[in-house]
Structures are given as structure tokens and as C-alpha cells.
Amino acid sequence: MALNKARLDSFIAQHCQISRKKVRLILAKSRVKVDGVVAHDIDKVIDTFSHISLDNQVIQANSAYYIMLNKPVGVVSATRDTQHKTVLDLLAYPFKNELHIVGRLDLNTSGLVLMTNDSRWSERLTLPEQKVTKRYLVTVKEKLNPDYITAFAQGMYFAFEDLTTKPAKLTILSDYQAEVELIEGRYHQIKRMFGRFRNAVTALHRCSIGNLELDSQLAQGDSRYLTSDEVKTIDK
């Protein structure tokens, strides 16, 4: 859901089909509340999720939804697809068609996917300047060595986009498994970075976004609501 903003007097005038002059009188008489607080300012800015009441009758009460999903391999990060099951197909929430995806995973990548109807929150997590870290567990075909750590930390030049990736942190966990942390999400970035070593990625799993870890109790294909604390602190 787009986070539409408007002046309070304009919203009430349009919603109630009355003039702004009448709205000013209503506000002066303390008849309007925004998020439970009496509002008097005609130029107060409200948005899609502001709770607004007039004479104790609710005139706007949209809910923001924040969902965590453990995406299995073989499911696409899309709202519709003619060939594959989508992440929305895995949800049973009545509001699921209002949701959009926060940071997609490709068909063969599993793990943490977030969905919401709050565009302000999703933009905060996905804009490059926010530098929100994503952490992945990577399994590869050939043995790893310390050269990978250096190369990932330096960034790699991608000729197709004519850019150098931002530094990424690679931690070797075993001969064939590593943890990668990065703050961007170029097209198949992790697979392409390992491809520089001619080392195929055989499994890729997103473990976390910002401070939010994938719930270990969440089976593949299952989802749950984020807590209010998780919503507030994910990028802190």
C-alpha cells in the first residue's frame, strides 16, 4: 500500500464532503483525533496508516502488516506467475493481495523473505543509502580458500552494469560453505562473485536482513507476523 500523505483538513473535507471552512470549525471544537490525540492544526500531515476519528466515529483505520516467510527453493518472489508457485501462494492471510515483497530471492534461493503493505518501511530497508546488511549461507562445489575473503572485501567489477560491487564480508565456515554479508543486491550477485573463481553455488539461503534473523521455528513455506519490536529495530 502506497503511503499517501495529505493535510488533515483536506482529508476530512474530501472524506466528509464538506468545505475546508467547516473543517476548521470542527478542529477548533476538538472533535477530531489523530492516533488517539485531539488534533487542532489544519495543516497537520496524516498518512495511510494514521488512525482518524470524528466525534469518536472512526473515519480511517488502515492496518500495516509485516510478514516473515521462510521461502523454499522452487518458489518465486512474485505476486503472480504462470509457471511457478509464488510467495503469495504460500500465505493464508485475508490481506495477502495487499502485500508487496521486500527484497526478492530468486527461484533457487531459500530463506528469509519479508512482505508488507507499508511502502515507507520497505523503502527504508531496500534503498542503497540505508546500507541494511543481508546475510547468506552459501554452499559451493569447489573448496574455498582465503583468496575469496580478500576478493569479496575489495569488491568485484561487473562489466555488464559497469560497476564495482561494494565490499562484502565472507567468512569461511568449512571447505565448501561460507557466510556472506552484503549491503546491496545486484542481479545474482553472490553467484556471480563466486563465479569469478569458477566455483558454482549449489545452495544459497538468506539468514537475516538487518537485525532480523529468520525464525528457526519457522518451517519452509511457513510465515508469521513480525513483532512490533522487530519492525522498529530491524535496521537499527
CATH number of the structural domain spanning residue 72:
3.30.2350.10
Sequence-separated (6 or more) residues with CB below 8 Å from residue 78: 86, 87, 88, 101, 104
Asked if residue 73 and residue 51 are part of one domain, the reply reads no
How many domains is the chain partitioned into structurally? Answer: 2
Give me the sign of the Cα torsion angle 228, 115, 135, 210. Answer: negative
Cα–Cα distance between 182 and 136 in angstroms, integer?
9
* Confidence tier at 231 by pLDDT (50, 70, 90): very high
* Confidence tier at 187 by pLDDT (50, 70, 90): confident
β partners of residue 70:
112
Asked if residue 107 and residue 36 are part of one domain, the reply reads no
Instruction: Give the predicted TM-score (pTM) of the model.
Output: 0.85
Mean pLDDT of 96-123: 94
β partners of residue 178:
138, 172
Mean pLDDT of 163-181: 96
Sequence-separated (6 or more) residues with CB below 8 Å from residue 44: 7, 8, 34
Catalytic residue numbers read: 106
Question: Is the predicted pLDDT of residue 127 greater than 90, yes or no?
Answer: no
> Which letter does DSSP use for residue 86 in this model?
B
CATH number of the structural domain spanning residue 56:
3.10.290.10
Asked if residue 34 and residue 133 are part of one domain, the reply reads no
**Other CB atoms within 10 A of residue 149 CB:** 16
Domain that holds residue 16: 5-60
Put residue 198 in one of left, alpha, beta given phi > 0 → left and psi -120 to 50 → alpha: left
Structural contact between residues 3 and 45, judged by C-beta atoms closer than 8 angstroms:
no
Structural contact between residues 218 and 212, judged by C-beta atoms closer than 8 angstroms:
no
Asked if residue 52 and residue 138 are part of one domain, the reply reads no
Asked if residue 192 and residue 137 are part of one domain, the reply reads yes
Asked if residue 56 and residue 71 are part of one domain, the reply reads no
Mean pLDDT of 83-105: 94
Residue at which a domain ends, from 17, 44, 60: 60
Residues of the chain above pLDDT 70, percent: 99
Q: State the DSSP string of 88-126.
A: GGG---TTGGG-EEES---TTEEEEEEEES-HHHHHHHH
Asked if residue 114 and residue 22 are part of one domain, the reply reads no
Asked if residue 183 and residue 162 are part of one domain, the reply reads yes
Asked if residue 84 and residue 56 are part of one domain, the reply reads no
Asked if residue 159 and residue 174 are part of one domain, the reply reads yes
pLDDT (tens digit per residue) in 23-58: 999 999 999 999 999 999 989 999 899 999 999 999
